[in-house]
Each structure stands twice: as C-alpha cells, then as structure tokens.
Chain A
Amino acid sequence: MGDASNMYVIVVGAGKVGWNIARELLEKGHEVTLIENDRERYQTVEQELEHNIQYGDASELWVLERAGVQRADMVIAVTGDDEDNMLICQVAREKYLVDRIIARVNNPRNLEHFELLGVRPVVSATDLIIRLIEHEVPEYGLVHLLDLPEQHLEIIEMNLPEGSPATGQRVGDLQLPEGTLLISVLRGSEGLIPNADTVLEPGDEILAVLDPKIEDEVTAYFAAPAHKPGE
C-alpha cells in the first residue's frame, strides 16, 4: 500500500468534480484511474488524461477490477447518481477491502441511506453551502463549528440577542440543560473563558460544547422571546 505521498486512487465519475480531482491528484504525483460510463464524456476527458481514464460502469464489479481496485488505497465516487456512489463505495470497502473511501451525496435526503450502508465520509455540496450560509449570515444565529455525531458532541457558536433572558445573568446562575458547557465568550475583539461570575451581555458570541440532542433546548434558552405581531 502506498503512503500519503504516493497513493493509487480510483475516481468514479468524470464530471467537473471527478475530472478536477483526478487532475489535482496526478499533479501531486499520485497514480489515478478515473472511470466514466458516458462514452462521449470519456472521449473528451481522454484527450487530456489519456491512459488515466477508463470507460465503463463502475458499479459493475469487473470494471472496478479492471481498474485495479484490489490494490487501490482510495476510492472516490463522485457521479451524479447517489445509488451508484453508495454501492461503489460499499463494494470497494466490503468486497475489495479498500481502506479509504469518499462518496459524494447529490441529494441530502439520501444521506441516511449512505449512513445505513456504512458509507462515510460523504461530501454534500448542499450541506457545505448551508454551512457557508450559516457562517456568512450572522442573523441565522447558530453556527456549527464542529460535529462529532458518533461521540454525541458538537461545538456551536450562538449570538446572544438583545432581549434574551440570559443577558445580564451570571454564568453560574444560568439554568442550562445537563450536558452543556460554555467554552468561551467573544465580546467585541476580546475572547474570554467564562467562569461562574462572568456576566453575559447582549451581542456576546457564545461557544458551547453540548450533546446535539439538546441543541434546540440550549438555543431556545439563549434566544430572545419572539415578537408578537402588532405589538
């Protein structure tokens, strides 16, 4: 098996994503086989990648075998079809014992199926964009900084809005649900590690580590009461 500087990588799907991944990996000195099942697309990409691309349906076992899946260090499935990506990665891992797999999720609703088949990690463009939105739009209130679903932990960042019942309170007096820890408070350009005597102010950005199950409860605790229409 190759080390990190010289891996054999099979990339399935020669769309924009797959083609560019193959290109980057080749530039970094890795050995790459790209597999594409659309004849026309294959011929276009073949003009640049030559022997580094093969024509075929990678969900057929013999196509993967012809590409040398048995000695692959990594299989990346980035076709536009979620079932293909799921099963190519499942077969690569379970039948051909490939250590590292990466699958693209096209429809976020299929994420649960990837998980059910043990296909992870997955990359979902929709999820990435949603996260960017969360980062870029502070009104959204809540940013996920780190998710560790298997460990039942996440780190989130919340803005403390004007009118939140938590403002003006000592951290030690907060009635937070069990399993929540405030890690730090960002106030203006300053970051502080809160203790029981720290008093929260509106506009504070609070970083907390907690169990994802109680996220709604925690965010509701820090939120400002909703305005009633007409008042």
Chain B
Amino acid sequence: MFIVIVGCGRVGSSLARTMLKDGHDVSCLDEDPEAHARLEIGMDKAWEDMGGQFTVGAALEVEALTAAGIEKADVFVASTDGDNTNIVISQIAKRRFNVPTVIARILDPLRAEWYDRQGVHTICPTRIAVEMLEGEVREAAKRAAGTAPKTGSADHEDDEV
C-alpha cells in the first residue's frame, strides 16, 4: 500500500517508521526540512535507503501534495500540528484526489466529532486521553472506596455520639 503522511512531527514520523517496517511504501511531507531527522530515529539506515520518501513543502500547496504522491495514495494521513490544516487537506485528499482512505488527526473533540460525521475519518487524541484518564480516576476511586474507611460518615457518627 502507498501511504502519504502530511506532518512529520512525533506522531507522523512514528507512524511512518512503523508503516515502512510493516512493508508499505511511505511518503512524508513537512514544511520543515529538519523533520526528516525524526524519520531515522532508532533506524540504522537512511530513510531513503529503506525506501521511504520525504518532501519539503507546505501542506496546502497542491504542487507539494502532488510531489509527495497524493495522486497515487491508497491512504492519506493528515497529522500536522494544526487542526484546521488537517481538516482542509483531508477534504482536498478526499474530494479532489479521491484518495480511498483519508484519516485526520484533530485535537479538538467537538470538531473531530462533527467532521467525522461529514465523512472525514478523524482520530482525536484529546478524547482518547480524556477517556483513559476518566477510566484511571474511576478505578482509583473504586479502589479507595473498597479499602479506606469512609471518613465522612465516620465523622458523622462521631457527631451523633
């Protein structure tokens, strides 16, 4: 499969490395040339020598997207640090280039939910983190309720005595 990833930060670069190891063709686009170094973290060969592709360019520039290979992409991932950029380029990938699978990382849960219903497949790390935290805190509360004495009601009993 040919995967185009726009935004080569911690998330994008990590996904790119994993997908390349899985045997897919991976092309990354980032406006910062230095982002290339992230693709080689923990790797013993250069990104290009492993078959990876890296393009420097702005996400909204059609020429840059084309250079990164969006026209041939089976999967398009929008993982820049800007929610709005990710939403716009996902819609470009879907509507203009007809990429079969388009996934956007959107930090704002409300926008992620709405655009997901509009047909842009969204991943919302904020919502996932909140759900995990809620789960952890609930677990902690249960453990506390099971082991520790109920200080509130004990005080109350003391008052009655």
Residues of A within 8 A of B (CB): 59-62, 81-84, 86-87, 91, 94-95, 109-110, 112-113, 116-117
Determine which of A59, A81, A86, A113 lies in contact with B111 in the assembled complex, contact meaning CB atoms within 8 Å: A59
Chain B interface residue bracket vs A: 10 to 19
Determine which of B82, B83, B92, B110 lies in contact with A113 in the assembled complex, contact meaning CB atoms within 8 Å: B92
* A110-B60 in contact (CB<8A): yes
Chain B binding surface SS class: helix
The reply on B44 being an interface residue by CB < 8 A is no
Residues of B within 8 A of A (CB): 60-62, 82-85, 87-88, 91-92, 95-96, 108, 110-111, 114, 118
* B111-A94 in contact (CB<8A): no
Write out the residue numbers on chain A whose beta carbons fall within 8 Å of the beta carbon of B62: 112
* B91-A117 in contact (CB<8A): yes
* A59-B110 in contact (CB<8A): no
* A83-B84 in contact (CB<8A): yes
* Residue on B nearest A81 in the bound complex, by CB: B84
Write out the residue numbers on chain A whose beta carbons fall within 8 Å of the beta carbon of B60: 82-83, 109-110, 113
- Closest Cβ of chain B to A90, distance in Å, is 9
* A83-B82 in contact (CB<8A): yes
Determine which of A61, A81, A82 lies in contact with B114 in the assembled complex, contact meaning CB atoms within 8 Å: A61
Beyond A61-B114, A91-B114, A95-B114, whether A113 also contacts B88 by CB under 8 A is yes
- Closest Cβ of chain B to A82, distance in Å, is 8
